[in-house]
Amino acid sequence: MTTLTKTEDTPAPTGPEAFLSVRDLSVRFSTEDGVVKAVDGLSFDVARGKTLGIVGESGSGKSVTNLTVLGLHNPKNTTIDGEIVLDGQELVTATEKELEKVRGNKAAMIFQDPLTALSPYYTVGRQIAEPFMKHTGASKRAAWERAVEMLAKVGIPNPKERAKDYPHQFSGGMRQRAMIAMALVCDPDLLIADEPTTALDVTVQAQILDLLKDLQQEFGSAIVFITHDLGVIADMADDIMVMYAGSAIERGTTDQVLRSPQHPYTWGLLNSMPRLDSDLSAPLTPIPGSPPSLLNPPAGCRFHPRCTFQDRVGGNRCVAERPLLGPDRASACHLTADQKRTIFIEEIKPRLG
């Protein structure tokens, strides 16, 4: 069941000329154990030519959000509230036929594992050519030429010959490139990349990230880049949204979020990451505890069972009252701006180096 209602939660960001605009998005799954609140009151914008990095642990709602944007959820057990507007077109209420037109043509997704996106039964060239034929009405021959051109563009050597290969004849890095070629073959205006380099070694990872940046410059696409790796996001994103337990808990430019993070969860993420410019023998500080079950998330601030700063707030507010994210530069936390500044300067910054 897919429904559309307006909810009141996260205030909308004020992005310029958003190409993708998500407002008060909530996604719930019915399961045998109950209702999973996978995404709860999420709002964000992405403009053309810009990259939004979405960061968070597994189960934070990053991937569900983006599968929902492309209508790739299971409509039988999913309830969606809110708005998803892509280039002026409302997608929550769109029919499957309308969504099919959007997917591949206007928006495309790059997955972490290319083997889930590439069929073992067809040549790589055919799998790149088919969406092009479908969305543009090009002839078989023109689509094949386009597939070869795209393979060349993503750096596959000898693309004319390699287009005739099957996915198992490609290396892992080449399969990832082929999937990027498939995603970009119709010049989509929105590209969603879900952990696209996690399974690759660092050299290939760097090549793929450079390739995405080059292609974004060429096509002017908006990119949503999902990862748990803050190092990758620092390299790729203009803006960052940090997600926790289905909600955005911090948002700002990449520089703001990485240089002066405001939310205790973001502090925890940064503290738990190794840094090349700090003492590599110093122990990392993991965030205590684990992410909550989304069947029954904690009341008040969802991060409170893991937060070591809730005693600075007072009045049991963290347990009783849910903090909301403000517009623009924001963190969903009851700590005052002064408290945050003091904690950051005296306790967090020295640890970040």
List residues binding ligand SF4 (CB under 6 A): 264, 301, 303-304, 307, 309-310, 313, 318, 323, 333-335
Token pair belonging to 281: 């023998």
**Residue 102 or 307 with smaller CB distance to ligand SF4:** 307
Token pair belonging to 331: 């963190």
Residue 304 CB, shortest distance to ligand SF4, in Å, is 4
**Residue 162 or 334 with smaller CB distance to ligand SF4:** 334
Helix (H, G, I), strand (E, B) or coil at 47: strand
Tell me how far apart the alpha carbons of residues 327 and 316 are, in angstroms, rounded to a whole number: 25
**Residue 132 or 309 with smaller CB distance to ligand SF4:** 309
Residue 278 CB, shortest distance to ligand SF4, in Å, is 24
Residues 46, 20: contact at Cβ < 8 Å?
yes
b/e map 106-135, b = 16+ CB within 10 Å: bbbbbbbbbeebbeeeebbbbbbbbbbbeb
Residue 308 CB, shortest distance to ligand SF4, in Å, is 8
DSSP 8-state assignment for residue 103: B
**Residue 114 or 323 with smaller CB distance to ligand SF4:** 323
Residue 346 CB, shortest distance to ligand SF4, in Å, is 16
Residue 202 CB, shortest distance to ligand SF4, in Å, is 33
User: What DSSP assignment string belongs to 274-333?
Assistant: --TTS-TTSPP-PPSS-PPPSSSPPSSSTTGGG-TTGGGT-TTHHHHS-----SSSEE--
**Residue 287 or 301 with smaller CB distance to ligand SF4:** 301
